[in-house]
Amino acid sequence: MRNLLITICIVVVCIEVGRLVQSGVQEKPSVTMTALMEPPPRTLESPKTNRYLLLLGFTTSPSLDPVETGFAMWSEAEIDRGHRYFNYDKGARAQLRMTPEIVQALQTWVSPDPLAKFQIQNKFVKNSVAQYRVLMYRYRRWLAMPFEDWGYGHLGTPRFSDLLVTHRLFVAEGFSRNVATGIDRLEKELSFGRMVLAKAKTLPTKMMAAVMIDDDVILLSKVLSLRHFSKAIIWRLSKLARPLNLTERSMRWPIQNEFVVGMSRSNRPFRSNSVAGSEELETNKQWIAMRAGLNPDAFEKLPQPFATGVLGVNLQTQSAVNADASYYDAIIKTVDAPHSPLPKIQDVVRTSPRTFVDRLVNPIHQEPTWEPFLQRIMETDARLRLATLQVKIRKPSCQPGLPARIAKAGSDYFDPFTDLPMLWSPTQGRLYSVGKDGLDDGGDSTFDISVPTRFVSNAAPFQSTTRDARAKATRLQR
């Protein structure tokens, strides 16, 4: 009896496999799937003009051109796109690295009075600029070049750690000279960061752009609270600290890139000679996650729901691929709408016809965890809104109290996490957003996103506003 049942099961499986293969031949790619496989339009044809390639080769030997090195790395991966990483272990591609000493020293960037620290560290900064003159030269060159994210469709990503430290050294050197030079460099950095954020087509690049913008905005907010500037400088800085626009917030291309890479990986298994650079990628992603305030495994929680080949044979049906495409398309359409709940993969995939073997080979996976990345972009938006408010509320106003002046700034400067006016803590002297947890913690920078201000205000009228915000935030959490 037992052998009979086993025989029957084998026959059923064989029949289903035959149907699976046949359906894979007969089923056609959906319009949605075809649209998702279309690459973004390319505006830069010459690799010599693309700062993305300079970033790939940023730490290469001083005797080598970083753009040429970056193009060589990109070309190696392009030969087998979606199956090869960017290989930093080859040749002298990682020869120039920042030492732990300078990385630690530049942590004074986040001190309560960074301008005073820059002056104290004047000699150290000058010596560091001389020591890393090659990287400083490359960084200035990088700021002057156009940018296009050619990492789209690739597994690898540039190594950003040395770039962030060089970025800090560049701004620190400006402030160590004088405040005017520092402001000029901060303005250039913010303008550049926003451009990269808008043009990023891959998730690591998008997150790194947000990190660099936050880095500059945090410094800008402290500078605004510590120094008085001319109206011309205040106007320049307030224009840069405007809220994110739709293109800068959009996650369309990073999400679509995850779909494209997943499709490439599902077509066939990896070969042993294509794993060079995989450890570097994982280390880099963990570093980006840490800098962005995400869990170290945030990128790992974005697995593709595509089935990989078994013994070199891909058993995934076209109907399953079409269902996955519908799911990613639903995410893309949802993420740009604030506070809209993301669709569940089970709700989308279960609507497609699936055979017995199809369910075994293509099970419903846990949906990718996109919320932390969406919230991270909202945090950057909140910091920019707070910095602009710092400028707006220092102007004379007929409004009797600070809460009214904050509300009068308009909904463009409301807290993106609650859609209510930003909050003010008179005891801590901080203007703040409730942050991703949606809870009012009184401006505590551990939980809330807050900036220091010079202003005083009657706390009594603002207590009810704070309580109302806390109540709505609690409702949002529920």
Q: What digits encode the pLDDT tens for the residues 27-46?
A: 788 899 999 999 999 999 88
Rg of the chain over all Cα atoms, to the nearest angstrom: 26
Question: Cα separations (Å) of 402 from 409, 471, 472?
Answer: 11, 21, 21
| Beta strands per DSSP E along 365-446 | 423-425, 430-433
Q: What pLDDT band is residue 311 in, cutting at 50, 70 and 90?
A: very low
Using alpha carbons, select from 156, 196, 248 the residue that is nearest to residue 51.
Answer: 196
Residue 203 has pLDDT above 50, yes or no: yes
Using alpha carbons, select from 86, 28, 12, 123 the residue that is nearest to residue 317.
Answer: 28
How high does pLDDT run on average in the chain? 81
Question: Cβ(190)–Cβ(242) under 8 Å?
Answer: no
Residue 354 has pLDDT above 60, yes or no: no
Question: Cα separations (Å) of 303 from 274, 306, 308, 366, 380?
Answer: 19, 9, 12, 9, 25
Please, is 407 exposed, middle or buried when counting C-beta atoms within 10 Å of its C-beta (0-12, 13-18, 19+)?
middle
Helices 122-131 and 161-177, packing angle to 10 deg? 130
Q: What digits encode the pLDDT tens for the residues 236-265?
A: 777 778 899 999 999 999 999 999 998 887
pLDDT score of 429: 83
What's this model's pTM, rounded to 2 decimal places? 0.84
Q: What pLDDT band is residue 408 in, cutting at 50, 70 and 90?
A: confident
Residue 376 has pLDDT above 90, yes or no: yes
Q: What digits encode the pLDDT tens for the residues 221-242?
A: 888 887 777 778 777 777 778 8
